A and B are shown apart, each in its own frame.
Chain A
Amino acid sequence: MADVELTPKFAPFFGMGGIAFAMIFGCMGAAYGTAKSGIGIAGVGVFRPDLIMKSLIPVVMSGIIAVYALVIAVLIAGDMAPPPGQHYSLFTGFMHLACGLSVGLTGLAAGYAIGVVGDMGVRSYMQQSRIFVGMVLILIFGEVLGLYGLIVALILNTKSRG
């Protein structure tokens, strides 16, 4: 009876929700970052095509946000199995939900920051080349927000085999 209380039938729902939230929110952030900075790169590339290579850095950083979300989604999916093989507890379900939400929503925040900074920074870089170092630094600090979410999700995930 205690087993049923700790591992109810609906527990995997939350774990699956964690996987979905990680991918959905993380990719929303990555998509916004890519699209918004892509607008800026397209604007810059018309006037200074030689700057396109360096202007693509925000796009690569947005890709990394999506990689974080992908890593966590794969990690959670590896911990889940249908009931006869594994008794999925409610604690694990909530924990996986927290993993997915933390990496997904921080990815959304980081992607938004990268998009705004990438768009405006690339346009400013066209006029003043010294702004490049500052732009990359701001982008790194924006991208680190997503990394913090990944770290929290990884630490949470260690609790699944307690």
Chain B
Amino acid sequence: MTTRRTAAQTAIPDTDNGSSSSGNIISPRASEKSNITPAVPSSVIAKLLGFTFAMITLPISTYFLSLNTLFSGNSTWAGASAAIMANVVLLSYVVVAFRDDQSERAEMMEQEKKAR
């Protein structure tokens, strides 16, 4: 306990010194707006939410919708089509992830060109 107390006591003056010395430099920035945009862009979040929703609803709804309309009660084909829909979601996710990376790389190349 004693060691902890001394550590805390030594830590407090340090922070006080830091705030008092740099406080005058920081305080003008308080009027400016801080950057609060999220680290993950909203388009990526929308994509992920969309794929999550598709993964949950698409296969099972395909099964129940196609069971009596497309395949007239043949549950085997309806089950197969549900599995195919799950793989379609996966394939589209891979394509979207790949395209996302390529567009990011293109942006980085453009920035490098501008820097030159």
Contacts and interface: CB of A to CB of B under 8 A. Distances in A.
B94 A67 contact: no
Interface in B5-29: none
Q: Is the interface of B mostly helix, strand, loop or mixed?
A: helix
A64 B59 CA distance: 10
B62 to A, nearest CB: 10
B97 A56 contact: yes
> For chain A, which range describes its interface: under 10, 10 to 19, 20 to 34, or 35 or more residues?
20 to 34
B112 interface: no
A147 B100 CA distance: 28
Contacts of B55: 60, 63-64, 67
A72 B86 contact: no
Contact of A53 (B79, B90, B100): B100
Interface string A52-78: 011011001101100110111011001
Contacts of B98: 54
Q: Is the interface of A mostly helix, strand, loop or mixed?
A: helix
Contact of B79 (A49, A56, A57, A157): A157
A28 interface: no
A157 B75 contact: yes
Given A49-B39, A61-B90, A67 B97 contact: no
A74 B44 contact: no
A56 B104 CA distance: 17
User: Which of B51, B55, B75, B82 has the most A CB atoms < 10 Å from its CB?
Assistant: B75
B59 A67 contact: yes
Given A63-B55, A154-B80, A75 B75 contact: yes
A78 B82 CA distance: 15
Contacts of B39: 49
A158 interface: yes
A157 B76 contact: yes
Given A49-B39, A157-B76, A60 B93 contact: yes
Interface string B56-79: 000110010000000000011001
Given A63-B55, A70-B60, A147-B83, A79 B75 contact: yes
Contacts of A49: 39-40
B79 A154 contact: yes
Contact of A75 (B51, B79, B97, B104): B79
Contacts of A136: 94
8 contacts: A53-B97, A53-B101, A67-B59, A71-B79, A74-B79, A147-B83, A154-B80, A157-B76
